[in-house]
């Protein structure tokens, strides 16, 4: 059974074009954007999204790989620091 669209969705067909792959920069009147989306738009730095979309898919993948490498290095550094702190705490307890 087909899902029935609500009236609010049916009134805003231009917004749905933004969801189709390959279509970008389709002008949508601000009033046609649902209120809950307009609310969250104020918290999103869209300039960062635009800059990221200027990159090729390969450049985005490389950037993502560098971020994952950084995350892994930070996790390893955190583990080493916690191990040193635990070792120092264990040394202080046994000598005290």
User: From CA 90, how far away is CA 96, in angstroms rounded?
Assistant: 10
Q: Are 77 and 85 in contact (CB under 8 A)?
A: no
Per-residue pLDDT at 94: 62
Is 58 found in the same domain as 96?
Answer: yes
| In a shared domain, residues 33 and 66 | no
Indicate whether 27 and 60 sit together in one domain: no
What was the pLDDT predicted at 12? 47
Q: List the domain range (segments joined by +) for residue 39.
A: 11-44
Q: Look at residue 29 and tell me whether its pLDDT is greater than 90.
A: no
Are the beta carbons of 75 and 83 closer than 8 angstroms?
A: no
In this predicted model, what pLDDT tens digit does every residue of 53-65 receive, in sequence order?
999 999 999 999 9
The overall pTM is greater than 0.75: no
What is the pLDDT, as a whole number, of residue 77?
Answer: 98
Question: Among 2-11, 62-71, 75-84, whose mean pLDDT is lowest?
Answer: 2-11
Q: What's the number of domains the chain is made of?
A: 2
Domain assignment present for residue 95? The answer is: yes
pLDDT at 40 (0 to 100): 85
Same domain, 39 and 58: no
The structure tokens 């635990």 sit at 86
């Amino acid at each position: 059974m087909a899902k029935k669209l609500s009236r609010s969705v049916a009134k805003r067909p231009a917004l749905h074009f933004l969801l189709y792959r390959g279509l970008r920069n389709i002008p949508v009147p601000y009033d046609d954007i649902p209120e809950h989306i307009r609310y969250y738009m104020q918290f999103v730095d869209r300039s960062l999204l635009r800059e990221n979309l200027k990159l090729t898919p390969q450049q985005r993948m490389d950037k993502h790989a560098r971020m994952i490498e950084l995350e892994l290095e930070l996790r390893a550094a955190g583990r080493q620091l916690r191990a040193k702190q635990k070792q120092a705490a264990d040394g202080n307890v046994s000598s005290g």
